[in-house]
Chains A and B, each alone.
Chain A
Amino acid sequence: MNALPEESPDRQSPGDEHQSSLDRVQRWMQAVITHPGGVAAGVASPSAREEIDVDPQQIDQVILPGPAQSPLERLAVYGNAYYARLLGVLRDLFPALRHALGDEAFDAFGVQYLQRYPSQSYTLGHLADHFVQFLQETRPADPVPPTERTLPADDTLPPESAIPARPAPRAAETDDRPSEQTASWPDFLIDLARLEWAIDQVFDGPGPEGQPTLDPEQLRALAPDDWPRVRLEPVAGLRLLELAYPVNDYYTAFRRGLSPEMPGPARSFVAVYRRDYIVRRFALSPQQYELLERLFDGQPLGQAIAQCVPHWPGDLDHWAQALQNWFQRWAKQGFFQRIAVGSDT
């Protein structure tokens, strides 16, 4: 490294001059190699020039050339490694999405995401905070016509869309594909990303481990008149997802190494939660989802049931039996952390 260009007097620290110079170079290098536009754009960026005011043509004032590489090429080694690392994190966070997109398309897509939403946190745990939002923001406004749904060069994609075209089916699989009129490749990808992100958040977030669980003695002690007023609090981290595609099944098939193909659209519902440090998924019917959503919004048991069951098809005996089975399974799975008994509404 060369001697640094002069630092402006008002930024000069009174302390150790070497330490001050090292701090400047580190901040400058961070600004350069993390710049989403590449290291040349990084050198020219205001945040880098605030530290060391050189333009890319004068970069050898800071970084010496190597035997075979220019200063910018040497910096690019670190810039590329930085983005390769972030891309690797995205691959790990969204393995099923990567399977659906294919490696090349996923990586191209990931780079676009990292350029639009550069990492802002010291922890990689926040790297994908905007990923689903990014998918939604860049979703094509209209369904991609079937004629464009082959594996093309990137320039056939809508320029504003980051969602790649769906890979062309292999010849033997075409009959299993959902109808092009009804299937939406971007919506499927968004749903899949939502599920995978939920799994990761439940994995990393607070969970019920170590917390007191529902006490059967407390439940037994309640008088029947209290039952409708019981409010059920979900365990920490539990999430309910409503999806336009059966991506939970897709994800399970992927985890089993079955190389699933894109399913046709079908509303699906799933609870994602954690027990004993294992993230679990529990497929729900529309009725189960509606009831759980009301309960976890804070409605008392009686009110939630009274607002749901009257518009469900079928007779009351059927739903009474179903309710018993559902609550038994949900309690067994550990959906509920605690109860409170309050007013009827």
Chain B
Amino acid sequence: MKKSHVTRRDFNKLTMAAFGGLVTGTVAGCGGPAAEQGQQAEQGGAPPAEGQASAESGAGEGSGEHEHQHEDETAMADSNLLLEEPHVCRGLNTCKGKGASGDNECAGQGTCATAEHHGCQGQNACKGQGGCGEAPGQNACKGQGNCAVPLMEDAWTKARAQLEKAMAAQNKQLGPAPPKS
């Protein structure tokens, strides 16, 4: 829906939401000692660090010698979560009878999500139950999903492809996905 006219009330609501998030995020930011501990925990599933930038960056020559320590803050995805139930959309069930209606004959033939449905980013109830983004259904934690469940079309395509890969890696069969209803 295009919003050709945003009222002052709407505008205030949006600005208040943004500013409120800013305040909350600043309070919960990564600067304090307590937050530091949380940050370290968050990095637990990320790629291993290679070296301390502070120790190896040096001055002048040598930029090519060090390796970076860096993290993908949004890549906490674990494709193995796609192999677990509940699942986040049609065709993403991992076993017979695990679809939303319970009458599917095979993995990949369920008709809808069995994960708790929700409408927006961060509203997922548990790990592996978020939507959209680059790794739908693979979020590492409650509140880390990027969008709604059941999935939007693009996210479904990604999730299905990722599930097919994960199943193939375990030599498991996946039936054809049911059409979008």
Contact = CB atoms under 8 A, between A and B. Distances in A.
A76 interface: no
A86 B64 CA distance: 9
12 contacts: A88-B64, A93-B64, A203-B53, A203-B57, A216-B27, A255-B47, A280-B70, A283-B75, A312-B3, A316-B14, A322-B121, A332-B26
A199 B68 CA distance: 8
A277 B63 CA distance: 15
B14 A281 contact: no
Interface in A192-216: 199-200, 203-204, 213-216
B102 interface: no
A64 B20 CA distance: 76
Interface in B45-64: 47, 49, 52-54, 57, 60-64
A318 interface: yes
Contacts of B27: 216
Contacts of A314: 1
Interface string A208-250: 0000011110011000100110101000000000000010110
Interface string B70-108: 111111000000000000000000000000000000000
Interface string B27-49: 11111000100000000000101
A283 B74 contact: yes
B61 A123 contact: yes
A302 B16 CA distance: 10
Contacts of A256: 47
A316 B23 contact: no
A124 B62 CA distance: 6
- Dominant secondary structure of chain B at its interface with chain A: loop
Contacts of A220: 23
Interface of B: 1-6, 10-31, 35, 47, 49, 52-54, 57, 60-75, 119-122, 133-135, 146
A327 B12 CA distance: 16
Contact of A306 (B6, B71, B122): B6
A89 B134 contact: no
A265 B60 CA distance: 37
Nearest to B74: A283
Given A124-B61, A306-B6, A321-B17, A281 B70 contact: yes
A293 to B, nearest CB: 15
A327 B22 contact: yes
B166 to A, nearest CB: 12
A334 B14 contact: no
A309 interface: yes
Contact of A327 (B6, B19, B61, B63): B19
Contact of B60 (A93, A125, A328): A125
A216 B26 contact: yes
Contacts of B29: 213-214, 331-332, 334
A115 to B, nearest CB: 18
Contact of A92 (B14, B64, B70, B133): B64
Given A88-B64, A199-B68, A279 B53 contact: yes
A275 interface: yes
Contacts of A326: 18, 21
Contacts of B53: 203, 274, 277-279
Contacts of B70: 199, 203, 278-281
B64 A281 contact: no
Interface in A312-343: 312-316, 318-334, 336
Contacts of A332: 25-26, 28-30, 35
B64 A302 contact: no
A167 interface: no
Contact of A325 (B6, B10, B21, B75): B21
Contact of A323 (B6, B14, B28): B14
Given A282-B73, A314-B1, 6 more contacts: A200-B63, A200-B68, A279-B70, A285-B146, A322-B121, A324-B21
Given A280-B71, A310-B6, A327 B25 contact: yes
Given A280-B71, A328-B28, A305 B18 contact: yes
A125 B69 CA distance: 17
Nearest to A226: B19
A301 interface: yes
Nearest to B146: A285
Contacts of A93: 63-64
A301 B19 contact: yes
A311 interface: yes
B58 to A, nearest CB: 10
A88 to B, nearest CB: 7
A52 interface: no
Contacts of B65: 89, 92, 124
